[in-house]
Chains A and B, each alone.
Chain A
Amino acid sequence: MSHDGHHSVVIPAPGPEFVPHTVAHHFDTPVQEFQSAKLGFWLFLATEILLFGGLFAAYFYYHEVYPETFRLGGQQLDWKLGAINTTVLLLSSWTMAMGVRSAQTSQKQKTLMFCGLTVVGALAFMVIKFFEYKAKHEHGFVVFSELFAPYDQATGSLAWFKDYDGVMAGVPHGHLFFAIYLTMTAIHGLHVIIGAGLILWIMVGAAKGRFHNGYFLPVDLVGLYWHLVDLIWIFLFPLLYLVP
């Protein structure tokens, strides 16, 4: 915001299809604005990693306590679907990077195209995830329809963990692996959805010509966020699907 008597710095648009950017009033230079936002965003990404860090700590702790449960549980996951999803996310990270590059070089159409491809990647990831969850539902590892049913103290059995085929019967607390699997992948999935939303928001801005070689900060930040989402999956995939 700008106030009477104070003149903010304006970055001119490189062409008629773009709009100029006004630097926020409390910054003296565009570089200061850029660096501040960038530093702040990196700190935010650090908090995201720490948030997942808590989940990873829980994973490692119970992996130590119930190694058999985790070995057997991991075998019930479909590593092929996981691998496909890893590829999809890696590709979408590349398209996102290309989108940022296109914004930096004032290529509006390319920015829109690469961002659009990234959203397609996010959707593909979620669709594959859906089929994965569906399989877990059908085997009774995570019965989604019973997820919020109250715990039956008398029988001590969980409504959402039925294990129809009895594959986890021989190990203690078989539900723990799937509880951790579900919690981690669901929170990650939520991040994918938020990321896709942010990229759509970037596309709206890009269509209006807000991003160009003079100002591409939001594209850059959303790009970083998307790489983080990718990075977390890079850790989740081997831990859940391959290590066991």
Chain B
Amino acid sequence: MFALLTQDPARTPGHIENPAPPLAVDTYGQLPKLASTFDHVDGLFYFTYIVCIFFFVVIVGVIAVSVVLYRRKTWDQPALSNVTHNTPLEVVWTVIPLIIVMVMFAWGFKGSLDMTNVPEAASRNLYKATAKQWNWTFTYPNGQQSFGEVWVEVDKPVAFATESTDVLHAFYLPQMRVKRDVIPGRSQVVWFEPKEVGDYHLFCAEYCGNDHSKMYAQLHVVSAEEFAKKPWDKWDDSTPAAAAKSGESLYKQLCASCHSVNGIPGVGPSWKGLFTKNADGTFTGRQREVLVGGQKQTITVDDAYIIESIKTPMAKIVAEEPYNRGGMSAFDNIEDRKIAGLIQYMKSLAEAK
């Protein structure tokens, strides 16, 4: 508890920065508006809902009527009836609910088969969703990548192979009615067919540690024409300034949950002051104490060190508490030019001073 109260509230930045627009709600206000083909979920939900309301009204009604009619008027008033059972009634209220729940079971099971059996068309449009604490990386069928947001084509079945590099997560798209636990060591495929163009929430639904609630991504469902423009492939590194800007957007999607740029300590060390700018426009990296296989060394930050720290973070760990235990998982699948953009962004931080 003491540790609880003394932690710096600024330690973890906290919340989702730029969520998708508020989700639309269906006619009855209970479910988010369906944007996929899994309408059996809504059908069974409302069927069960109505059955529940019916039974609830009956139960509360009988209780209310009893309380009004049979309320004890004098303290020694006996009950009106001493009946202890009524076999036909008991059979009725056993059998009828049994029939109803068996209908629900069959309906639900049939629906779940639809959700778990990936159709051929979807498996030909296979994405990969890689979860790690606390962000999402998406790999498109053509091998390209995007971080924290993903584009799919409307009216075209799509499948996601979900993988985790650390702990349990869950891939949850409320408006698509899709959810699947993401389990380290297993690759599991989910599918859906988006029916409406729009931007949708993608939540992590399985508790995964500190920034579980920040592990958010957006699903963009776009038309075929829009999709053909590859909106995820916007990487501009024509000039150093453009590369730094691209790097900044990647930083926000991928790195900001652990590394600040303003010196506030996070899960990982801040990027502030990694480089200083010289008068001639070149950059000098700072001196840094690191652990290599447990041995302390002093190194100078340079491009090679940063590339190494992204691809194999455990090779050189920052020696300072509390970072000296390591813990960052390897981001070994980022394209080199994107890492170059990130480095350009780090250097641009020096310029800002």
**Complex Cα distance A154/B326, Å?**
9
Determine whether B315 belongs to the interface, using a CB cutoff of 8 Å to chain A: yes
Q: Which residue of A lies closest to B314 (CB)?
A: A154
Q: Give A183 Cβ to nearest chain B Cβ, in Å.
A: 21
Determine whether A157 belongs to the interface, using a CB cutoff of 8 Å to chain B: no
**Complex Cα distance A153/B314, Å?**
8
Q: Could you tell me which residues of chain B, from 306 to 351, have a CB within 8 Å of some CB in chain A?
A: 314-315, 326-327
**Complex Cα distance A6/B81, Å?**
43
Q: Give A151 Cβ to nearest chain B Cβ, in Å.
A: 11
Determine whether B293 belongs to the interface, using a CB cutoff of 8 Å to chain A: yes
Q: Which residue of A lies closest to B315 (CB)?
A: A154
Q: Could you tell me which residues of chain B, from 239 to 296, have a CB within 8 Å of some CB in chain A?
A: 293
Q: Give A159 Cβ to nearest chain B Cβ, in Å.
A: 13
Interface of A is mostly: loop
**Complex Cα distance A154/B315, Å?**
7
List, in ascending order, chain A residues with CB within 8 A of B314's CB.
153-154
List, in ascending order, chain B residues with CB within 8 A of A153's CB.
314, 326-327
Q: Which residue of B lies closest to A154 (CB)?
A: B314
Q: Which residue of A lies closest to B325 (CB)?
A: A153
Count chain B residues whose beta carbon lies closer than 8 angstroms to a beta carbon of A.
5
**Complex Cα distance A153/B327, Å?**
8
Q: Could you tell me which residues of chain A, from 132 to 165, have a CB within 8 Å of some CB in chain B?
A: 153-154
**Complex Cα distance A154/B317, Å?**
10
Count chain A residues whose beta carbon lies closer than 8 angstroms to a beta carbon of B.
2
Q: Give A234 Cβ to nearest chain B Cβ, in Å.
A: 34
**Complex Cα distance A153/B315, Å?**
10
Q: Give A62 Cβ to nearest chain B Cβ, in Å.
A: 13
Q: Give A215 Cβ to nearest chain B Cβ, in Å.
A: 46
Q: Give A97 Cβ to nearest chain B Cβ, in Å.
A: 48
List, in ascending order, chain A residues with CB within 8 A of B293's CB.
154
List, in ascending order, chain B residues with CB within 8 A of A154's CB.
293, 314-315, 326
Q: Give A64 Cβ to nearest chain B Cβ, in Å.
A: 16
**Complex Cα distance A154/B308, Å?**
13
**Complex Cα distance A153/B312, Å?**
12
**Complex Cα distance A81/B201, Å?**
61
Q: Which residue of A lies closest to B313 (CB)?
A: A154
Q: Give A170 Cβ to nearest chain B Cβ, in Å.
A: 21
**Complex Cα distance A154/B314, Å?**
5
List, in ascending order, chain A residues with CB within 8 A of B326's CB.
153-154
Q: Which residue of A lies closest to B327 (CB)?
A: A153
Q: Give A94 Cβ to nearest chain B Cβ, in Å.
A: 47
**Complex Cα distance A154/B293, Å?**
8
Q: Give A149 Cβ to nearest chain B Cβ, in Å.
A: 12
Q: Give B219 Cβ to nearest chain A Cβ, in Å.
A: 32
Q: Give A51 Cβ to nearest chain B Cβ, in Å.
A: 26
**Complex Cα distance A154/B328, Å?**
11
List, in ascending order, chain A residues with CB within 8 A of B315's CB.
154
Q: Which residue of B lies closest to A156 (CB)?
A: B314
Q: Give B166 Cβ to nearest chain A Cβ, in Å.
A: 11
**Complex Cα distance A71/B293, Å?**
35
**Complex Cα distance A154/B316, Å?**
10
**Complex Cα distance A146/B222, Å?**
56
Q: Which residue of A lies closest to B317 (CB)?
A: A154
**Complex Cα distance A154/B324, Å?**
12
Q: Which residue of A lies closest to B326 (CB)?
A: A153
Q: Give B325 Cβ to nearest chain A Cβ, in Å.
A: 8
Q: Give B290 Cβ to nearest chain A Cβ, in Å.
A: 12
Q: Which residue of A lies closest to B329 (CB)?
A: A153
Q: Which residue of A lies closest to B291 (CB)?
A: A154
**Complex Cα distance A113/B319, Å?**
63
**Complex Cα distance A153/B324, Å?**
12
Q: Could you tell me which residues of chain A, from 150 to 197, have a CB within 8 Å of some CB in chain B?
A: 153-154
Q: Give B292 Cβ to nearest chain A Cβ, in Å.
A: 10
Q: Give A45 Cβ to nearest chain B Cβ, in Å.
A: 36
**Complex Cα distance A153/B293, Å?**
11
Q: Could you tell me which residues of chain A, from 120 to 142, have a CB within 8 Å of some CB in chain B?
A: none
Q: Give A158 Cβ to nearest chain B Cβ, in Å.
A: 16
Q: Which residue of A lies closest to B292 (CB)?
A: A154
**Complex Cα distance A154/B325, Å?**
10
Q: Give A240 Cβ to nearest chain B Cβ, in Å.
A: 25
Q: Give B271 Cβ to nearest chain A Cβ, in Å.
A: 22
**Complex Cα distance A153/B326, Å?**
8
**Complex Cα distance A22/B210, Å?**
59
**Complex Cα distance A111/B162, Å?**
65
**Complex Cα distance A153/B329, Å?**
10
Q: Give A202 Cβ to nearest chain B Cβ, in Å.
A: 45
**Complex Cα distance A186/B221, Å?**
56
**Complex Cα distance A3/B248, Å?**
81
Q: Give B294 Cβ to nearest chain A Cβ, in Å.
A: 9
Question: Can you list 7 residue pairs at the A/B interface with Cβ under 8 Å?
Answer: A153-B314, A153-B326, A153-B327, A154-B293, A154-B314, A154-B315, A154-B326
Chain A to chain B: the 6 pairs with minimum beta-carbon distance, closest first: A154-B314, A153-B314, A153-B326, A154-B326, A154-B315, A154-B293
